[in-house]
Amino acid sequence: MLILADALVSTPDRVLRPGRLRVSGRTIQEVGSDLQALPGEEVLELPGLTLAPGFLNLHAHLELSPLHGKVAPRLPFAEWLRQILALLPGLHATARTASILETSRSAAESGTTTILSILSDPRSLAGLAGTLPRIWWALEFMDLHGDPQPAVQMDRLAAWLSRHPGCDWHAAISPHAPYSASTDLYRACAGLAKNLRMPFTTHWAESAEEAELFKTGNGSLRPLLPDSWVPDSPSDRFEAVPKGSLLAHGNEMAMDDIQHLQTRGCFVVHCPTSHAWFGRKPFPLETFRQQKLPVILGTDSPASSDNRSLDLRVEARAFHQAHPEVSWSEIWSMLTTLPASALGQADRLGTLSPGAQADWVAWRLPPTPTPHPPTTPTHLAPVPTDPIPTILTSTDPAEVISVAGRLHRPEKI
Ligand SMILES: [Zn+2]
């Protein structure tokens, strides 16, 4: 199939006008401005639209949207956690399944074609036949109250995935957080991640309360943990984090920790709207940049954010507001090429280039007024000078979404 659009964002530094994309099945074959239809080739004309790679969201909780608005913002972290823990037993598997479907669809319609979602209750997957975006299901483990048997549960997840070969679903693993998962559990999960070649993610250094717990063995988080809980050695815990891990939040890391994690090729997943929702102190972006520990953007769950539809453009705007020194182009990388490489999918996701998956999004962008006569051919509508900030500041749903070559057009009324 040949797709004809007004413009195409291949990578942050490569925009083509007009934009043409040749796709065969799930894969992009060619990208250019002057591709011509081959004899008998299907042609999809998208006049007035700009093609761009789908975004990747590597920290989400698709199951938890029913908790949106149930807990007040700006609570201390321990109090937020206490209230969430009280609500979770009432969140039944059917509500979680519905949440996965609805939230993943709205995320896709706002441009996200890949999601790594923490899965705290695997029963939520029962009956699920497909999702619009491709998903890495990161099965979550804690061992505050006994051994969760991660090897057994990952085996079950693998069996379930094998029964859905037509879905773009993959496995990942996630010990919940240092205060709820022991070093032994981190080691077991790291071993599984290595043997099964799957992403490893965890909540890491999220709050000042967590830092206090490990520093003093006490504080407001302590009453939420069993009496028998003891902090493990920090150095053992660091050694248990495997290379290339995705560390959600990282708000409270010491310089030594940052340097250690940088040498292990880890990535920090920053969730700007959740950060603002908790009223946290400024995110230490400059330190991460100086230490070359890469930062990508995620959404976290709607239980701790105003971003109910998991729209990564909302995160991009919140991030830009907090860090105006970072260019839109760099923010684009934090949503596309950088998370793709964090997921081990560089050149396959997050880019429109030959050999990549056909995960593209078509946007209708408002034309930018230009002071000079347009230089584009008259049959083409004017396109913005730089589509990247225009896409990231847009609020309408995408016109067309393609995941592995499957097309979806959001219904508009
Ligand atoms: Zn989270």
Q: Please give the span between the terminal C-alpha atoms of the chain, in angstroms, as a whole number.
A: 28
* 301 CA distance to ligand 1 middle (Å): 6
Per-residue confidence (pLDDT) for residue 231, from 0 to 100: 85
What pTM, to 2 d.p., does this model score?
0.94
Q: At what angle do helices 150-162 and 183-196 cross, to 10 degrees?
A: 30
Q: Angle at the Cα of 316 (from 11 to 249), degrees rounded to 5?
A: 110
What's the rounded Cα separation, in Å, for the pair 411 and 413?
Answer: 7
SS3 assignment, position 363: strand
Per-residue confidence (pLDDT) for residue 412, from 0 to 100: 76
What's the rounded Cα separation, in Å, for the pair 116 and 114?
Answer: 7
What's the rounded Cα separation, in Å, for the pair 120 and 200?
Answer: 15
* 204 CA distance to ligand 1 middle (Å): 10
* 206 CA distance to ligand 1 middle (Å): 9
H helical segments located in 174-304: 183-196, 208-216, 234-240, 255-263, 272-277, 285-291
HEC assignment per residue over 211-229: HHHHHHCCCCCHHHCCCCC
Successive 10-residue mean pLDDT values, the chain, 413 residues: 96 92 98 97 97 98 95 94 94 95 97 98 93 98 95 97 95 96 96 97 95 93 94 81 96 92 96 96 96 98 94 98 97 97 97 97 79 52 75 96 96 76
* 60 CA distance to ligand 1 middle (Å): 6
DSSP string over 282-298: PP-HHHHHHHT--EEE-
* 197 CA distance to ligand 1 middle (Å): 22
Q: Which residues surround ligand 1, an ion (CB under 5 A)?
A: 300
Tokens of 380: 């083409």
Q: Which residue has the tokens 């957080």?
A: 177
Could you give the C-alpha distances from 44 to 21, 54, 200, in angstroms and in order?
A: 10, 18, 39
* 300 CA distance to ligand 1 middle (Å): 5
* 255 CA distance to ligand 1 middle (Å): 23
Residue whose C-alpha is closest to residue 391's, from 52, 58, 106, 115: 52
* 61 CA distance to ligand 1 middle (Å): 6
* 117 CA distance to ligand 1 middle (Å): 9
pLDDT in tens, 66-117: 999 999 999 999 999 999 999 999 999 999 999 999 999 999 999 999 999 9
* 128 CA distance to ligand 1 middle (Å): 22
71 touches 88 (CB < 8 A): no
Give the contacts of 200 (CB within 8 A, at least 6 positions apart). 172, 173, 174, 189, 190, 193, 241, 242, 244, 245, 246
Per-residue confidence (pLDDT) for residue 413, from 0 to 100: 72
Full set of structural domains in the chain with CATH: 2-54+350-408 (2.30.40.10), 55-342 (3.20.20.140)
Could you give the C-alpha distances from 88 to 84, 85, 91, 96, 319, in angstroms and in order?
A: 6, 5, 5, 10, 29
Q: What is the DSSP letter of 357?
A: B
Per-residue confidence (pLDDT) for residue 11, from 0 to 100: 84
* 271 CA distance to ligand 1 middle (Å): 9
* 177 CA distance to ligand 1 middle (Å): 10
